[in-house]
């Protein structure tokens, strides 16, 4: 773990640990970004240098904001499965809860749902957010289904980041949630 992220909170769910990103996560991120699986989070073909800068963006968000996307791992296994968490880079219209599964083997197992609930709970309970959105590529049916499973509703009047086609899913406000899905912070 990078020294500046040593005090990053760790979230724990039933099956997962959500922790700070670190250099050990780069190979999994790089492989995902080089594959067709990353088509919904990049605007075109991406080379290793661009993937490196994107990964630096994930780590840098923690340094600049003091919070950001957590890397999700299975309990007892530190291998990165993907990233999830609060996200608000400069120029974003609203605070976002974002997610991406990096490991193809992790898809379809409910990890993103479990992690996103915990990350949203962290954003509401610790960061004191009063709401959040998720920005989703219109062709990303799996992310749309996840947003809806999380109780988010499409908001066609909301501003979007950039010029690429994007749907905005608005999450329930903190008072509208029975349980954030998070078991523990440390």
Q: What is the mean pLDDT of the chain?
A: 87
Q: How far does Cα 127 stand from its chain's mean position?
A: 15
CA atoms within 13 A on the CB side of 34: 10
pLDDT at position 181 over 90? no
Q: Is the Cβ–Cβ distance between 139 and 40 less than 8 Å?
A: yes
Residue 97, number of CB atoms within 10 A of its CB: 26
- List the single range of 27-41, 70-84, 124-138, 153-167 with lowest mean pLDDT: 27-41
Q: Which residue, 12, 18, 21, is CA-closest to 181?
A: 12
| pLDDT value of residue 43 | 57
What pLDDT is recorded for position 2? 47
Higher pLDDT, 63 or 36: 63
pLDDT recorded at residue 186: 41
pLDDT in tens, 111-167: 999 999 999 999 999 999 999 999 999 999 999 999 999 999 999 999 999 888 899
Percent of the chain having pLDDT more than 70? 86
Dist. CA 139–CA 47, nearest whole Å: 23
Residue 170: count of CB within 10 angstroms of its CB = 18
In a 3-state reduction of DSSP, which class is residue 133?
strand
């Amino acid at each position: 773990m990078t020294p500046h992220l040593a005090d990053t909170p760790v979230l724990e769910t039933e099956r997962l640990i959500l922790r700070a990103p670190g250099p050990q996560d780069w190979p999994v991120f790089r492989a995902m970004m080089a594959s067709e699986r990353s088509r919904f989070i990049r605007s075109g073909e991406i080379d290793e240098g661009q993937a490196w800068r994107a990964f630096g963006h994930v780590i840098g968000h923690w340094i600049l904001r003091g919070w950001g996307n957590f890397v999700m791992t299975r309990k007892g296994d530190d291998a990165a499965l993907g990233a999830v968490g609060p996200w608000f880079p400069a120029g974003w219209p609203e605070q976002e809860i974002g997610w991406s599964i990096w490991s193809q083997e992790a898809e379809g197992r409910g990890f993103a749902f479990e992690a996103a609930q915990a990350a949203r709970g962290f954003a509401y309970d610790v960061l004191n957010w009063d709401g959040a959105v998720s920005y989703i590529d219109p062709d990303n049916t799996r992310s749309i289904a996840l947003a809806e499973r999380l109780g988010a509703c499409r908001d066609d009047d909301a501003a979007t980041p950039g010029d690429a086609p994007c749907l905005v899913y608005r999450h329930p406000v903190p008072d509208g949630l029975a349980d954030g899905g998070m078991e523990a912070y440390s």
